[in-house]
Structure 1
Amino acid sequence: MAKTIHGWLLGATLLSGIGGAAPVVAGQAAKQTAAQDARARAAAIVAKMTLDEKIALVHGLFPPMAKGKTPNELIPSAGHIDGIAHLGVPLIRESDASLGVANQIEQRKGDVATALPSSLATAATFDPAIARAGGAMIGAEARAKRFSVLLAGGVNLTRDPWNGRNFEYLGEDPLLSGMMAGAHIAGVQSNHIVSTVKHFALNAQETGRTVVDAQLGEAALRMSDLLAFQIAIETGKPGSVMCAYNKVNGDWACENAHLLGDVLKRDWGYRGWVMSDWGAVHSTAKAANAGLDQESGQELDHAVYFADALKADIAAGRVPMARLDDMVIRYLTGLIETGAYDAPANDAQSIPYDAHAEVAQRAAEAGIVLLKNDGDLLPLARTAKRVVLIGGRADVGVLSGGGSSQVRSVGGAPVEIPLTSGAASSFARVTWHASSPLAAIRAAMPQAQVTWIDGRDPAAAAAAAKAADVAIVFATQWTTEAQDVPDLSLPDHQDDLIVAVAAAQPKTIAVMETGGPVLMPWLSAVPAVLQAWYPGQRGGPAIANILTGRVNPSGRLPITFPASPTQAPRAAPVGLDRLTAAEAQAAADPGHASDHQLASFPVDYAEGADVGYRWYEKTRATPLFAFGHGLSYTRFAYRNPVVTGGAKLSISFEVVNTGRVAGADVPQMYVAREGAATPMRLAGFQRVMLKPGEAKRITLVAEPRILADYDTALPGWRIAGGRYRVALAHDATDRALVSTASVTAATMKP
C-alpha cells in the first residue's frame, strides 16, 4: 500500500469525476456503481420510515448534556444519534478528532488512547502513507471504543501564523493539505467507520470564530481553501462533511447555499451528509434548504432546530418532504459506503497500544524538521560527555495542543494545568504527554552524563550550559482551539533564556515544541534548531533519535515561518482588539454568541488564493524559513531534469544521495505560467528514501488544477495554453533549476 500512496504523484488521476480531465482509472466504473447502489439502498430504507423516524436521524445529542434523552447508553463524548432497530439503522457514537480518540478533560475516567503528533507534524512528512497509517491507527482505536464516526480530517488552510488551531491542520498549501487529509481520512475509514472532513469552509481563525464573516472572492476561494477540500474529498471519500462556525461572504457556513448546495453537492457530486459543527446552527428552514443534513450536538445550539421546529416547517411547506428524505438518505449513504452501517461498532475491543505507539513515533520522526545545523553540530557527537537539557518540562514529557483534539494518551499526563480564564477554559488544559526527552536521550547516550534543569532562572541555566559540552533548550508554545495567540513570540521570556544559554555555550541546540511558527530573535547565535511541533505520545524517543542520528531528519515545513509578524497578510488576529475578554469567550463558545448579542465582523482575506509561501513571493518578502525547507544529515542533488509539456506537464529527474548516510528527500515541483504575475505554486512532490550514493529517477506530474485558474464565467477550471516555468526545488524559494515547457489549453468542470 505504501508504494501505491507514494505513487500518488498528484497527477491526473486526482481528477476522476472531473469531466474529461483524466482517463478513467481501473475500477472507477465499479466504484460508481457501488455508490449508486448505496444511495438506492438508503432510499429504500428511508421509504419505510415514518416522519418521526426521519426527524430522529437529522439531529444528534451532545452526551455530556443529554442525560435522560435516550434509553441507550450515553458514552461521554462528542455526539450520539440513536438508531432505528426494526429497520437495521445502527446507533452512532461520534468522537473527536484528528490526533487520536479524544478525551479532553477526562470525561471518560481512565480511558486512554494513542496520541499522534500534531497534524502539522504529519504534514511535514510530505508522505501520504504516513498520514494514512496514522488515520488507520486512530480509526481502529475509535472502533474498539465503540465509536462509528471520528470528527477528523481537518483541512483548513493556514492563512495566519497565529491561528490557535494551526496545529490541527495540514499547513498552507491546498495540494499538500488535500492529499494528506485525503490519505488520513482513507485510513480512518479503512476500519468501516466514518471520518468527516472539516471545517467547511474558511474557518481560518479562532478569535470570534462563531461570529466572524470570512470574505473571499469565488475564484480565489476555489483555488485555495476549497481546492484543499476538493482534493481531500476525492482521495479520502469521507462519509460526512462538517460545516464551520463562521460566516462565508455573508452567510453562516452551515446555511450557506452556495457552499453546501452549489459547490459541494452539485459541482463536486458529494453523496454523503453534511453535519454541523457543535453549536453552528442558526436556523431551521434556511439551513435545511441550503444543504445542512444534520444538526450535531443539539444542546450546544441556541435552540434545537432540526427536531420539532423542522417537523413544523415540513408541515407548513417551508421545507419540502423531499429535502428531509434527501437529508436522511445522505446520512445513511455515508454510513453504508464506509461500512459503518453494516458493521456497527457495538462491541469494545482490546487495543494493541504498543504497536500503535510505533505508528505515532514513526510519524513524529518523519515530521521533525531540522531548520538549522551550522557546523554540523547535529547529530550529537558520541564524544559528548556532559549534556544539559534546559526547560520545556523535558524531564517528564512533551507538550500537546489544546481543545477538542486533546488525547489522554497512554501513560497519562505528567503535567496538566487547568485554565482559569480565556475562551478555551471550559474544555482545555495545558497538557504534556508522558514521553520524557530526558529519559530518551539518556538511553540513547549511555556514555554521557545527561541532566535537566527547569530554566526558570536564566543565569543558572547559563551556568549549567557553560559547564556542559552541549546545551539543549526545549522551547514551548501552547496553542489551543478557541484562542489565537496574541503574537508570535515565545511566551514566558523563553527568548531571554535562549539568549543567555547561547551566550554561555556556543554548542546550543534549540528544540521547538510549538503549535506553528514562532519568531526567533536569537537565531544567529544558536547553531542548531529542531522543529519538533507537538510530537505526540512517543515524542521523547523521536526527538532523541533525531538528535543522536539514529534517525536522519527528513521533515519539510508545511508552513512558512515569517521573519517578522508584518510579513504575514495580517500581523495579529482580526477582532482581538475589539472584543472584551467576556465577548471573546462568548464568541468562541458554540451556541452562546447570540446570548451576548455579538455582531459579526468581517475578515477580508486580501491575499486571495496567494496563501502562505505564495504571499511571500508576491510581496517579495524573505521569510525566516521557507515552506518546504528542511535539512538532513546527508545531501541530495537533482540531476538531468527533463520537462515534458502538452496535455500534461511533468518533470523527470534523478535524485542522488551524495552523502554518507541513508536519508529521505522531498523533491518539489513549482509551476507558473510564463509572463504571469501570479506566484509559483506547488504542483507535485514525492518523498524518496535513498541509501548513500544511491540515485533514483522519478517523475512528478503537475496536478492540472494547480496549472489552471478558476474561471467563474465558464464556470470551471481553465488552463491557459502557452509556456510554463517549472522549478525543481528543495523549498518554495529555490529557483536553481528552472525549465520551461508548452502546455495545451484545456478546461475542466468545477
Structure 2
Amino acid sequence: MVSLSIWQLVRAVLLSTALTSAAEITSDTHFYGQSPPVYPSPPMTGTPSWAAANAKAVALVSQMTLEEKANITVGYTPRTGCSGETGTVPRLNWPGVCISDAGNGLRNTDFVNGWPSGIHVGASWNRNLAYQRALHMGGEFKTKGVHVALGPVVGPLGRVAQGGRNWEGFSNDPYLCGTLAGETVRGMQEAGVTAATKHYIANEQETNRNPFGDVEAFSANIDDKTLHELYLWPFANAVHAGAGSIMCSYNRVNNSYSCQNSKLLNGILKTELGFEGFVVSDWGAQHTGLSSATAGLDVAMPSSSFWGVDGGYLTQAVKNGSLAESRVTDMATRLVASWYQMGQDVGFPARGVGMPSIFYTPHPPVYARDPSSKQFLIDGALEGHVLVKNVNNALPLKKPKLLSIYGYDAPSPLEMNVGGLNDFIGGTWVYGYESVLGYIPFISGTAPPQIAFNGTIISGGGSGANSPAYISAPFDAIKEQAYQDDTSLFWDFMNVDPTVDTNTDACLVFINAFATEADDRAGLHDDYSDALIKNVASKCNNTIVTIHNAGIRLVDQWIEHPNITAVIFAHLPGQDSGRALIQLMYGQQSFSGKLPYTVAKNESAYTNGGKPSLPEGDYTLFPQSTFSEGVFIDYKYFDQKNIKPRYEFGFGLTYTTFSYSNLVIKKLDGVSTAPTPPPSPIIPGGIASLWDVVAQVTATITNTGNMTCSEVAQLYVRIPGGPLKQLRGFSKVGVPVGGTVTVEFDLMRRDLSTWDVASQGWVLQGGGYDLWVGASSRDLPLKGTLMI
C-alpha cells in the first residue's frame, strides 16, 4: 500500500508541467529534465495576416453557448473515412472539420495519388517541387472534403538514425527541413486545406513514444539553446508560412507530456512564435484534462475521456470555477479561425465525401486526381533519386542486349502474389503501407524486420503512408524499356545467391530499407540484402545497386567491391517510382538529387550509435533521453568529431560536371547587432526582424560536362561559437552544357543569430562569419567572410 502511494505521488509530479518557478530561470540548466510553467494560455490576437479570419471567428464563436464551444474542441468517431472529426454546431451551420492523414498523401480512399514521401522531397532540394506537390496534394484533400491534412512532418528531425518515422520528414538539417516545410504549408493552404505541422516537439524515436503499463513515454531532455536552434527551427518556418495547426507529440519533453507542456505550447509556440492557429493532439496523446487545456491544447483527437464525449467536463470545469471560460472560447476561436483562414466557409465539399469509413463500402466515386498533377508526380519522383557511385560511366545504360534483374524490391507486390489493389487503397499493409508485420518474413532474424520482402516500396509504413492510384515498379518500367530496345531479360527475385548469365551486360540489384511508425529500425543495414548484393557482384562485373530506403542505409559491406559500378539511393518516390528510375538509368533525365542526411561508414559514427534511448537504471519507469550532444547531429556531429563519412550531407552525382566561381558577399545597409531592433513586432514565426534579409551572396556555376543538368548549390556559414558550418542557403538550377548560371542566396537575421538563454532572445553577433559555397557539405571550393 505504501509503495502504491509513492508511485502515484511520483507519477503526479513527473506529469506536472510546473517543476520550477519562472523566477528560478537563470540559465538553461533547468531545461535538463524540467519544464518551467508558463500561464495563462495566450488568446489569439489576430495579427494582420489572420485579422479577417480572427474577426469572423470571434463573431461566430460569440454566438455559441459554452456547451457548443466545448463540443467542437473534442473529436468524435468519424462517420466517414476521415482520421478524425470535430464536434459541430448545427444551430449556427458550423459543420465541424474532417482531419486526415497524411503529409505524404491522402490515405484510406480511392481516386487519389501516391506522392513522393518527405525524405524524397528532401533529397530533391527543390523548393518549387515541394510547393507544387503540396498544392496538388492539398487539392485532393479538399476534393474529398478534408479540412485539415496531418502534415508536413518536421519532427522527428533525425537525431536517431534508426528512427522509424524519419522518412516522413524532409531532412536531418533544420534549414533544409524548415525551408521545404514552409513551401509545403504554403502550397497546401493555398489549395484551401489547413496544414497540421507535426510532431511538436522532439519526437525523435518510436521506442517508448507512448506510455505502456507502468512505463511512461520517453522524455526528451533538451536545453533551451538546442531546442531553439535545432528542433524548433523548422516549426518556426511552418508558422511563418501561416500554418493553421500544429500537432503536439506523444513524447514528454523535460518530463512534461508535449500536449500539456505549458512552456512549449503557451510560452514558445503561442507567445514567442506568435502562432495563431490551433494545437491538436496526436491521436491519444492527451494525458490530462484541466492541465492540457490550461497549457495550450485546443483540440483533442480522436476523442477525449478527459474533456468528455461532448466536451462536458470542460463545461463542468468552467461552471465550478476550475477553468476560465475565456480559455474554452479561445480554443474554439482558434479552430474556427483556421476554417475561415483557408476559405472553408464557402463552397467546401461535405466532410469526407467519397470516403466511407470502410473503404470498400459502395459509395459514389469522387475523383480527386487532377490531370495537372502528372508532371509534378514524375518530376518529384525523378529528383529525389541520388546517384552516389558511377564508375566508368556504368550509367546511363545504352540499349543493353541482356539485362539481369535481382532482388525482392524490383517487382510490384502484385507480381509477388500478395494482396491486390484494395490493399493499397485501404491502407492495409502489403509491402510497406501499414505496420502489420505478418506479411513480412523475418529474413535476418531481427524484429521488426529491416526490409519489406514482398515487392518494391514507394512509401514507409504507418499513418504517413498514402493510397496510390497505381504502382510503377522498377521491373514494370524495365520490361517496357526492354521492349523498346529489343533487350532480353533474365530475372530472379527470390534467391539470395542467384544464377548469373555471363553474357549479361549489367546486373541490376534492387533492395530496400524499410521503416514504419510505431517501431524504430533494428539497424541501418541487413545481412540478407548485403549477402544478395555480394553474391551477385561476385559473378557479375557490372553490378548496379538500387536502394529504396526509408532512412539512412549503410553500404560499407560491399560499396568498394570492384564489380559494383553504380549505386542509387532511390528513397520513396511514390507511385511513379519505376517509371522515374528508368528515365534516369537510361539517361533520358539526369540525376540531380542530393543526400538530405549523412551516410556513415558505421553505425557507431552517429549520435548515440544511431539507436533510440531505452529505459534503464533508476528511470526504468520514466525513460529519459538526454540530448547532451546539443545541436551537433548529422553532419555537424561528423564535423565536430572529425569523422569521415562514406557520403556526406548534400552529396550527389549527375551525368555532367560543374565548376564554381565568382563568390560575392554583400552586407545590406543598416544591419544592426541589437538583439531586437525596434520596432520589431511579433508575427507568425517570431520577431519580425528575424525574417529580414541582412546579407546577400552570389556565385557562378558553369556546366563543364556534356549534358544539361541541374545542380544544387549550397551555402554554409560558420556562426561564431557554433558548429564548424551550418547550411544557410541552397539553390537548384538547371545549367546548359558550357553555360553559366548565377545563384543567389539571401541570409536573414535568423540565419546568422544564436539563441541567448540569459536574455531569452536571438542575438546577431558582430564580427566575421566564414561562408562557403559548393556542391556538398564537404565540397566547398568557394570561401569568403561576411563582416557584421
TM over 0.5: yes
Contact 1:175 1:682 (C-alpha < 8 Å) held by counterparts: yes
Matching residue's letter, 2:644: T
Q: Would you say 1:696 and 2:711 are equivalent positions?
A: no
For 1:48, the equivalent position in structure 2 comes to 63
Partners of 1:351 and 1:344 lie apart in 2 by 14
Contact 2:249 2:281 in 1 (8 A): yes
Equivalence map 1:225-374=2 (5 Å): 225-235=231-241, 237-298=242-303, 304=308, 307-346=311-350, 349-352=366-369, 355-374=372-391
1:707 maps to which residue? 752
Q: Is the 8 A contact 1:369 1:532 kept in 2?
A: yes
Q: Which residue of 1 aligns with 2:26?
A: none
Q: Which runs of 5+ in 2 are unaligned?
A: 1-45, 211-216, 355-365, 416-421, 440-446, 449-459, 672-693
Equivalent in the alignment of 1:616: 638
Q: Which amino acid aligns with 1:360?
A: L
Which residue pairs with 1:127 in the alignment?
Answer: 126
CA contact (8 A) 1:294 1:306 kept: no
TM-superposed deviation, 1:97: 0.3
What secondary structure sits across from 2:661 in the alignment? strand
Matched with 1:25 is none
CA distance in 2, matches of 1:160, 1:202: 11
**Could you tell me how far apart the structure 1 residues matched to 2:462 and 2:174 are?**
32
- State the shift of 1:409 in Å: 5.7
- Alpha-carbon offset, residue 161 of structure 1: 1.4
Please give the secondary structure, in 2, of the residue aligned with 1:637. Answer: strand
1:181 aligns to what? Answer: 181
Map of 1:655 onto structure 2? 701
Deviations 1:240-295 (A, max 9, x none): 11100001111110001111111111111111100100000011111111100010
| Pair 1:571–1:34, CA change in 2 (3 A) | closer
Q: 1:34 to 1:577 in 2, by over 3 A?
A: closer
The unaligned stretches of length 5 or more in structure 1 are 1-30, 64-73, 400-405, 580-596, 744-750
Distance in 2 (CA, whole Å) between partners of 1:694 and 1:725 is 28
- The superposition leaves residues 472-515 of structure 1 with CA deviations (integer Å, 9 ceiling, x where unpaired) of 10011221001001111136x11011011112112111100110
The equivalent position to 1:60 in structure 2, one of 64, 75, 78, is 75
Tell me which residue corresponds to 2:361: none
What residue is the counterpart of 1:14 in the other structure? none
| Local SS of the residue matching 2:58 | helix
- 361-370 vs 702-711, greater mean Cα deviation: 702-711
**In structure 1, how many angstroms separate the alpha carbons of the residues matched to 2:732 and 2:184?**
17
Aligned residue number for residue 9 of structure 1: none
1:578: Cα distance to partner?
A: 6.2
AA in 2 matched with 1:686: S
Q: What one-letter code is carried by the residue in structure 2 that aligns with 1:154?
A: V
**1:430 and 1:478 in contact (8 A); partners too:** no
Per-residue CA shift, 1:527-575, capped at 9, x if unaligned?
A: 2111111111010101111111111110011111121111111125334
Residues 444-469 of structure 1, C-alpha deviation per residue, up to 9 Å, x if partnerless?
342243535344323324x24x4411
Superposed displacement of residue 372, structure 1: 1.1
- Residues 114 and 696 of structure 1: CA distance in aligned 2, closer, same or farther (over 3 Å): same
Distance 2:88 2:205 in 1: 35
Partner of 1:486: 522
Separation (CA, whole Å) in 1 of partners of 2:195 and 2:464: 23
SS in 1 for 2:534: helix
Residue type of the alignment partner of 2:629:
E
1:580-619 superposed matches below 5 A: 599-619=621-641
**Compared with structure 1, are the counterparts of its residues 34 and 681 closer, same or farther at alpha carbon in structure 2 (3 Å cutoff)?**
closer
Which aligned pairs between 1:71-470 and structure 2 lie closer than 5 A? 74-103=79-108, 111-156=110-155, 157-210=157-210, 211-235=217-241, 237-298=242-303, 304=308, 307-346=311-350, 349-352=366-369, 355-382=372-399, 384-396=400-412, 408=424, 418-420=436-438, 434-445=471-482, 446-451=484-489, 453-461=491-499, 463-464=500-501, 466-470=502-506
Compared CA separation, residues 563 and 665, structure 1 to 2 (3 A) = same
Task: Give the CA deviation at 1:613.
Answer: 1.0
Alpha-carbon RMSD across the aligned residues, in angstroms, is: 2.8
The 1:264/1:428 distance shift into structure 2, 3 A limit, reads closer
Given that 1:153 and 1:181 are in contact with CA atoms closer than 8 Å, whether structure 2 keeps it comes out as: yes
Residues 575 and 615 of structure 1: CA distance in aligned 2, closer, same or farther (over 3 Å)? closer
Query: Contact (CA 8 Å) 1:476, 1:490: kept in 2 or not?
Result: no
For residue 303 of structure 1, report the CA deviation from its aligned partner.
7.9
1:341 Cα deviation (Å)?
3.0
Q: 1:502 aligns with which of 537, 544, 547?
A: 537
Give the counterpart of 1:557 among 585, 591, 595: 595
Cα shift readout 1:335-366 (whole Å, capped 9, x = no counterpart): 11111233432266433465434322210101
Deviates more, 1:559-568 or 1:599-608: 599-608
| AA partner of residue 515 (structure 1) | A
Alignment partner of 2:612: what SS?
Answer: coil
Deviates more, 1:309-318 or 1:539-548: 309-318
Question: SS where residue 616 of structure 1 aligns?
Answer: helix
**1:76 Cα deviation from its structure 2 partner:** 2.6
Structure 1 94/471 Cα, relative in aligned 2: closer, same or farther at 3 Å? same
Residues 73-116 of structure 1, C-alpha deviation per residue, up to 9 Å, x if partnerless?
A: x113310123223323223111100111012xxxx5xx242111
Whole-angstrom CA distance in 1 between matches of 2:565 and 2:662: 34
- The match for 1:22 is none
CA distance in 2, matches of 1:641, 1:429: 42
Deviation of 1:678 after TM superposition, in Å, equals 2.4
Give, in whole Å, the separation in 1 of the partners of 2:708 and 2:243: 36
Cα drift, residue 37 of structure 1: 2.4
SS of the counterpart of 2:51? helix
Amino acid paired to 1:718: V
Closer, same or farther: CA 478–304 of 1 in aligned 2, 3 Å: farther
Task: Report what 2:581 is aligned to.
Answer: 543
Q: How many residues align?
A: 667
Q: Compute the displacement of 1:427 (Å).
A: 7.8
Counterpart contact for 1:115–1:408, Cα < 8 Å: no
Structure 2 CA distance, aligned partners of 1:510 and 1:398? 22
Q: Residues of 2 paired with 1:634 and 1:524: CA distance?
A: 23
Equivalent of 2:554, from 500, 510, 519? 519
**Contact 1:180-1:232 within 8 A present in 2 as well:** no
Contact 1:357/1:537 (<8 A) preserved: no
Distance 1:500 1:431, change over 3 A: farther
For residues 687 and 412 of structure 1, the distance between their equivalents in structure 2, rounded to whole angstroms, comes to 37
**2-structure distance, mates of 1:618, 1:701:** 26
1:636 alignment partner, one of 625, 640, 658: 658
State whether structure 2 residue 785 is matched by structure 1 residue 740: yes
Cα displacement string for residues 24-52 of structure 1 (whole angstroms, at most 9, x for unaligned residues)? xxxxxxx9545222212211211111111
* One of 462, 465, 471 as aligned partner of 2:507: 471
Aligned residues with identical type, % of pairs: 27
**Mapped partners of 1:615, 1:302: distance in 2:** 42
Q: Deviations over 1:690-716 (max 9, x none)?
A: 111111122212233231110122221
- TM-superposed deviation, 1:611: 2.4
Partner of residue 8, structure 2: none
Higher mean C-alpha displacement, 305-314 vs 214-223: 305-314
Give yes or no for contact 1:295–1:306 (8 Å, CA) kept in 2.
Answer: no
* SS class of match (1:458): coil
Deviations 1:673-728 (A, max 9, x none): 46x46220001111101111111122212233231110122221111110111011
Letter in 2 for 1:390: Y
Mapped to 2, the partners of 1:425 and 1:488 lie a distance apart of 17
Tell me, yes or no, if the aligned pair for 1:398 and 1:536 is still in contact at 8 Å. no
Preserved CA contact (<8 Å) 2:114 2:467? no
Cα distance in 2 for partners of 1:270, 1:524 equals 50
